[in-house]
Chain A
Amino acid sequence: MKINRRRFNTGVLVAMLVVMLVWMILPLALALLWAMVDPDYTWSYPDVFPQKLSFRRWPMLWETTTLKQSMINSYSLGAAVTVMTLLLAMPTAYAFGRIEFKGKNVARLLTLLPMVLPGFVVAIFFSSLLISIGVYSRFLGIMIGHCIVLLPFAIRILSVSFSQVRQDLIDAAKDLGAGWFGVVRHAYLPTIKSGIFATLIVVLIRSVEEFSLAFIIGSPDFTTVPTILFQYLGYAYIRTNAAVISLILAGPSIILMVLLERRLELANPAAEVGKG
């Protein structure tokens, strides 16, 4: 029976690896190849591989398109959204994580509201609101929109972190004469810092990748990395440029998420405060 199970697992594992190869690895590998096609050579049938590989297209795109400005826009927006979202989410997350009150479950459900509305509906009617109240700053408009649609993620992550803070640590800090700042520093911070780190990364990635609000509110003047990728995919399909921008968009996200996963695996709040 054990042998059968092992054989079954091995068989399915091999089949899954083949599927993964076609479903995941091949598309990513092709994107990488297309991003490295030398601008002086074409890659067309019957060539199985590009005639010449180089990174020459990358600086070309950087210098001749709005990529540089789009990256500045995306990451400055991402940084501002991350800080704002963290600050706005903290009090609500504290209430969810540390205080028992009537209607808490309903309140928790309500925080998920931005996730149940289609993104483009939110984007269009939020832009309509901005026009109505006379807010014409695209940066400000997108930043407010991003903060609100990303708040549910931040609140969720941080409220779990707050709920893990041990009451005996808080009491001990207070008994030892720590003031408000001391309690935060010695009792809360060691436990919630992983949550803060996770929030920062998740919000940053989601803000940089967000397309609907950036496209509706920002276009045509304020471009972000996803909006220029959309231009190369939709209006004027330029595969090589789309490949470079796809990698620029997806690469940092994947690296940051892997970093986050490793960090969260290593994080042990109890160990960090010397308790086990």
Chain B
Amino acid sequence: MKDSVKRSITVVALLLPGLGLIVGFVGIVVVMAVVQSLGFLNFLGESGFSLHFWQRQLSNSTFWKAFFYSTRMAVIGAFCSVTIAYPIALWLRKPFPGSHFIASMIKIPLLIPGLVAAFLYVNLISHSGFINHGLMAMGIIEEPLKMRNDPWGIGVIILQTWKNMPFALLLLAGAVRAIRDDVLDAAQDLGANIWVRFRRVVAPLTLTSLQAALAIIFIGAAGDFSFQVIAGPIRLNSMAQYMMRQQRELGSWNDAAVVGVSLMVLALIGSAVVAMISRMIVKAGEK
């Protein structure tokens, strides 16, 4: 008994500096956001319990536009990343001459910071960027096209995919490589073509990695600030951008807290829903 108590104390003591700090920190940050969203810790005015800030934001069309815009970008970004990553993971499953080189090249965006990625993209599509130069030199257009800050957020989706596809590939490649050859050979011997093998063997066996990739990419994309500010639509805000505006430009920490809490809920529930939808799609494909 004494030994087990001593052992438990040792484990707790070992976990405190790392895990304890993480749980404490995240807990405090979440509590700060929730408390401020409910009217407390108002740095500029009277503090006290109030649902005023929630009412104000939930009846504000800009809030909802930002909410749905961030959701849309996160869903499309996550699905585009895994859709591109899947065939590449399957293609690179077995090594062949040049496969190692291609795999290394694809990993490059993982090493590039997000802001640098945004610069590389803007450099290509800006008013005096490479694409406009090229199109004008070929005589396809006479005036440069305006592609930066496009109203549909295509630039943001391209950037999300550029940055996140290698991450999805990393997760999916491991899962795809773990599928035994005899399983795939057996399916082929039974007459399954590539598409059927993918639906009935590959997708179900890699479902966990697929869900992890989708959820992690969704969370990152839903909370995006820098891609949106640099390449996103000018008339639309992402949730992080809208939260920043509330705090920086309007000085309202409490309104920013409402947006922050909503963003956390979006990230957690949205990633779970995306993972669930992917499971449903894979299960439907199995039939």
Q: Do A and B bind each other?
A: yes
A contacts, CB < 8 Å to B: 6, 9, 12-13, 16-17, 20, 23-24, 26-28, 30-31, 34, 44-46, 48, 87-89, 91-95, 99, 101, 107, 110-111, 113-122, 124-126, 128-129, 131-132, 147-148, 151-152, 154-155, 209, 211-212, 226, 229-230, 233-234, 237, 239, 242-243, 246, 249-250, 253-254, 257
Q: How far is the CB of B245 from chain A (nearest CB, A)?
A: 11
The reply to whether B263 and A114 contact each other, CB–CB distance below 8 Å, is no
Selected A-B contacts with CB under 8 Å, 15 pairs: A12-B91, A13-B99, A16-B102, A20-B106, A23-B162, A27-B124, A28-B120, A30-B120, A92-B17, A117-B29, A118-B222, A119-B223, A147-B21, A249-B116, A253-B112
Q: Establish whether residues B41 and A128, one from each chain, have CB atoms under 8 Å apart when the complex forms.
A: yes
**Within the complex, what minimum Cβ distance (angstroms) separates B146 from chain A?**
14
Given A91-B13, A118-B222: A128 and B22 interface contact (C-beta under 8 Å): no
A147 to B25, CA, bound (A): 11
Q: Which A residues are CB-close (under 8 A) to B116?
A: 31, 229, 246, 249-250
How many angstroms from the CA of A119 to the CA of B109 in the assembled complex? 19
Please tell me which stretch of B52-60, B130-138, B174-182, B198-206 contacts chain A, meaning at least 4 of its Cβ atoms lie within 8 angstroms of it. Answer: B130-138
Q: How distant is the Cα of A92 from the Cα of B18 in the complex, in angstroms? A: 5
A20 cross-chain contacts in B, Cβ below 8 A: 102, 105-106
A24 B18 Cβ-Cβ under 8 A: no
Interface pair B29/A234, CB less than 8 Å apart? no
Which one of B75-83, B252-260, B275-283 is at the interface?
Answer: B252-260
Asked if B115 and A91 sit within 8 Å, CB to CB, the answer is no
Q: Are A128 and B21 in contact (CB under 8 A)?
A: no
Q: Give me the interface of B with A, judged by CB distance under 8 Å.
A: 7-8, 10-11, 13-19, 21-23, 25-26, 28-30, 32-33, 36, 41, 43, 91, 96-99, 102, 105-106, 108-109, 111-116, 118-124, 126, 128, 130, 132-133, 136-137, 162, 216, 219-220, 222-223, 225-226, 229-230, 239-240, 243-244, 247, 253, 256-257, 260, 263-264, 267-268, 271
In the complex the two chains form, is B123's CB within 8 Å of A31's CB? Answer: yes
Contact indicator B96/A120 (Cβ below 8 Å): no
On whether the beta carbons of A211 and B226 are closer than 8 Å, the reply is: yes
Collect the chain B residues with CB atoms within 8 Å of residue A234's CB.
Answer: 229-230
Which residues of A are found within 8 Å of B29, using beta-carbon distances?
117, 121-122, 125-126, 129
B264 near A250 with CB under 8 A, answer no
What 6 A-B pairs have minimum CB-CB distances, sorted nearest first? A118-B223, A92-B18, A27-B120, A95-B14, A120-B240, A209-B113
Min distance, Cβ B149 to any Cβ of chain A, angstroms: 11
A interface: dominant SS: helix
Query: Is B14 a contact of A24 with CB atoms below 8 Å?
Result: no
Contacts of B41 in A (CB 8 A): 128, 132
A30-B130, A128-B36 as given contacts; A110 in contact with B19, CB under 8 Å: yes
Residue from A17, A45, A237 in contact with B133 in the complex, judged by beta carbons closer than 8 Å:
A45
A94 partner, pick from B14, B33, B133, B260, beta carbons under 8 A? B14
- B120 in complex: contacting residue of A115, A226, A246, CB < 8 Å: A246
Judging by beta carbons under 8 Å apart, are A125 and B22 in contact? no
Check A229/B32 contact, CB under 8 A, given A94-B14, A101-B11.
Answer: no
Residues of chain A lying within 8 A (CB to CB) of residue B97: 9
Closest to A209 in B: B113
Nearest A residue (CB) for B266: A118
**Contact: A233 with B118, CB < 8 Å?**
yes
The answer to whether residues A249 and B115 also contact, given A31-B123, A92-B19, A243-B123 and a CB cut-off of 8 A, is: yes
Bound-complex Cα distance A146 to B102 (A):
33
Q: Which residues of A contact B137 (CB under 8 A)?
A: 45-46, 48
* A17 surroundings in chain B (CB, below 8 A): 102
Partner of B219, one of A48, A116, A249: A116
